[in-house]
Homo-oligomer: A and B are copies of this chain.
Amino acid sequence: MQQYFSKSKKENKLEINEEDIHHIKNVMRMKDGDKIIIVHEEIAYNCILEKDYKHGTIESIYKKDTEKTYIKAYIPILPEEKMSFIIEKGTEMGVSEFTPINFERSKFKISKDKENKKIERWTRIAKEASEQSRRLIIPKIDNIKTVKEIEKIEGVNILCSLDKNNVKEIKNVLNERTLCDKITIVFGPEGGITKSEEEEIENKGYTKTSLGKNVLRTETVIINVCSIINYLNG
């Protein structure tokens, strides 16, 4: 069953967004009376589609467990195909916030005048991936930032490193005891983060972390780390 997000609820009716009405009518070819899942304020409801296609009438609660860990991912700017992929997969795996970072070795750049359009696009991808994977929130996509602007949070702060020296194994950084409400993770570009960037991020309080002996691509790393967090969260 398809899931949609709603911004407003009146009694037992949830309003369906304009752009979703088109999807419901013309892509899913649903009819009034059909079952539909609508999420409002982090609760997913089993609903019945109304005749006007603009509302769903609540029948019961489908899911309302909130997510245990807020995962904030700093991701490198990559070609659009990989970027979409990372946002889609990261969303499926439980990332709550993405901040694109202009690393020194990012081969791909986005000019200031194209930034808003890109963020709009990535937000749409995050929304669709949330609907498809039945998450209760749509991840936030931040503006593009620099390494200087990376922030440390109260919680676990991980810097994924290709370095072999002075790194901790992911197993020693993430385990049931250290797992907490908030985790930020810095994922580097292909070719890695430069030494001076690594130092800058480490100095903020991030732990340089190794993901094992195999060399993984950025898009694989993000699913890898989130899988471990979800596993530990049970």
Can you list, as one digit per residue, whether each of A75-118 has a CB less than 8 Å from chain B (1) or not (0)? 00000000000000100111000000000000000000000000
The answer to the question of A216 belonging to the interface, with a C-beta cut-off of 8 Å to chain B, is yes
Q: A131 — nearest CB in chain B belongs to which residue?
A: B215
The answer to the question of A223 belonging to the interface, with a C-beta cut-off of 8 Å to chain B, is yes
The answer to the question of A51 belonging to the interface, with a C-beta cut-off of 8 Å to chain B, is no
Contact B213 A65 (CB under 8 A): yes
Knowing A92-B217, A217-B92, say if A212 contacts B230 (CB, 8 Å): yes
For residue A234, give the distance in angstroms from its CB to the closest CB of chain B. Answer: 5
For residue A231, give the distance in angstroms from its CB to the closest CB of chain B. Answer: 5
Residues of B within 8 A of A213 (CB): 63, 65, 134
The answer to the question of A199 belonging to the interface, with a C-beta cut-off of 8 Å to chain B, is no
Contact B230 A231 (CB under 8 A): no
With beta carbons under 8 angstroms apart, the residue of B133, B135, B234 that contacts A171 is B234
Contact B171 A214 (CB under 8 A): no
The answer to the question of A6 belonging to the interface, with a C-beta cut-off of 8 Å to chain B, is no
The answer to the question of A197 belonging to the interface, with a C-beta cut-off of 8 Å to chain B, is no
For residue A37, give the distance in angstroms from its CB to the closest CB of chain B. Answer: 11
A79 to B206 Cα, complex, angstroms: 41
A133 to B170 Cα, complex, angstroms: 18
Contact A132 B215 (CB under 8 A): yes
For residue A172, give the distance in angstroms from its CB to the closest CB of chain B. Answer: 9
With beta carbons under 8 angstroms apart, the residue of B65, B217, B220, B231 that contacts A231 is B231
16 A-B residue pairs with CB within 8 Å = A63-B213, A89-B220, A92-B216, A93-B214, A94-B214, A132-B215, A133-B215, A134-B214, A135-B214, A169-B234, A224-B230, A227-B227, A227-B228, A227-B231, A228-B228, A231-B231
Residues of B within 8 A of A217 (CB): 92, 132
Q: A216 — nearest CB in chain B belongs to which residue?
A: B92
Quick one: which of A92, A169, A225 has the most chain B CB within 10 A?
Answer: A92
A61 to B31 Cα, complex, angstroms: 65
Can you list, as one digit per residue, whether each of A38-68 has a CB less than 8 Å from chain B (1) or not (0)? 0000000000000000000000000101000
Contact B231 A92 (CB under 8 A): no
Quick one: which of A92, A94, A227 has the most chain B CB within 10 A?
Answer: A227
